[in-house]
Amino acid sequence: MVKKYLLITILCLSLSGPSVASALFMPANGSELADMSGVSAKAYVVINTETGEVLAAKNQAMPRVPASLTKLVTALVVLDTKPKLTKVVTMTAADQVAGSCGKGGACIKSKAGVKFTVDGLFHALLLPSANNAANALARSTGLSAEQFAQKMNAKAAELGATNSKFYEPTGLDPNNIITAEDYAKILTAAFKNSYLTKVAAQQKFTLRSSNNKAYTQTIKNTDKLLADEDIDILGSKTGYLNESQYNFAAMATYHNGPKLAIVVLGEDHLYSAFAETKILASLAEEAQMLAMLNGSGLVLGANTGNIK
């Protein structure tokens, strides 16, 4: 990682004379700084949601498989139906099959006939990324699978995520497509919702069945950055398929800096997705120094015009 003292050294050398400064590679923007910092994600974007400025980006318009990042779109569509959080939903065998439960898919402990509240299913959707919970929530809206997918795509389009496409609510289908810049818009919209923010901020939750105590269980958040002291995660989502590798998206602040939307796609490991999210978040702190060195009026990058 490029440390702040390195930038300070470059600043001092640049002030000492152009011939000295020119001997060093000077990052011109956040993307070059991220490259110097060793960020290896296949695609990423970092956006200051308070100003709309792109602080750093790489392959931000490249189509990628979202995996379970899809579930934030599912959550937004379900919330658009204005569900009662206390409504009880009965799990079905189809929820288990479509969730690939027992075959490697992330699922809460359940079976046909077990009942959970909508609130409980939202926690299962966002914390352990349960596929059977995603299917049950989608079904609870009364929409058919085809209608729900249409609503997902309509929601993405409404948010300006026009290069994304969704076919089902779990993210298991590798035909689902997003771009990093599209997903930053989805992420920002999702965590403007106070309910989703409250749910996603929990490290663990006791999920209670409404009719079978044997299925009351403790579920844990897949986001290990929630316990990190350097970065304040305001809401996040992980995702993995063989076709996507590891994905991570978070609304965060770093050392009391601006609110950032960070999307990293195509990491080799989940821990590297977390580590590189921290690296990218730290670039915001270094932006003002780069702007001074390069004589730019912008902090870093270009304005999206769409992140609000």
| Cα distance between residue 248 and residue 269, in whole Å | 11
| Cα distance between residue 267 and residue 248, in whole Å | 9
Please report, for the chain, the start and end positions of each structural domain, with discontinuous segments joined by +.
24-294
- pTM (2 decimals)? 0.86
Q: Judge whether 276 and 270 are in contact, CB under 8 Å.
A: no
Residuewise pLDDT in 10s, the chain (308 residues): 444 444 544 444 444 444 444 444 556 555 666 665 668 999 999 999 988 888 889 999 999 999 999 999 999 999 999 999 999 999 999 999 999 999 999 999 999 999 999 999 999 999 999 999 999 999 999 999 999 999 999 999 999 999 999 999 999 999 999 999 999 999 999 999 999 999 999 999 999 999 999 999 999 999 999 999 999 999 999 999 999 999 999 999 988 888 999 999 999 999 999 999 999 998 876 754 564 466 544 433 443 444 54
| Cα distance between residue 119 and residue 13, in whole Å | 57
Q: DSSP assignment, residue 191?
A: T
Strands 260-267 and 245-254: antiparallel
| Cα distance between residue 179 and residue 50, in whole Å | 21
Q: DSSP assignment, residue 225?
A: G
| Cα distance between residue 145 and residue 134, in whole Å | 12
Length of the chain in residues, anyone? 308
Q: Judge whether 143 and 29 are in contact, CB under 8 Å.
A: no
Name the architecture of domain 24-294: 3-Layer(aba) Sandwich (3.40)
Cα dist from 195 to 36, 47, 78, 249, whole Å: 38, 23, 12, 18
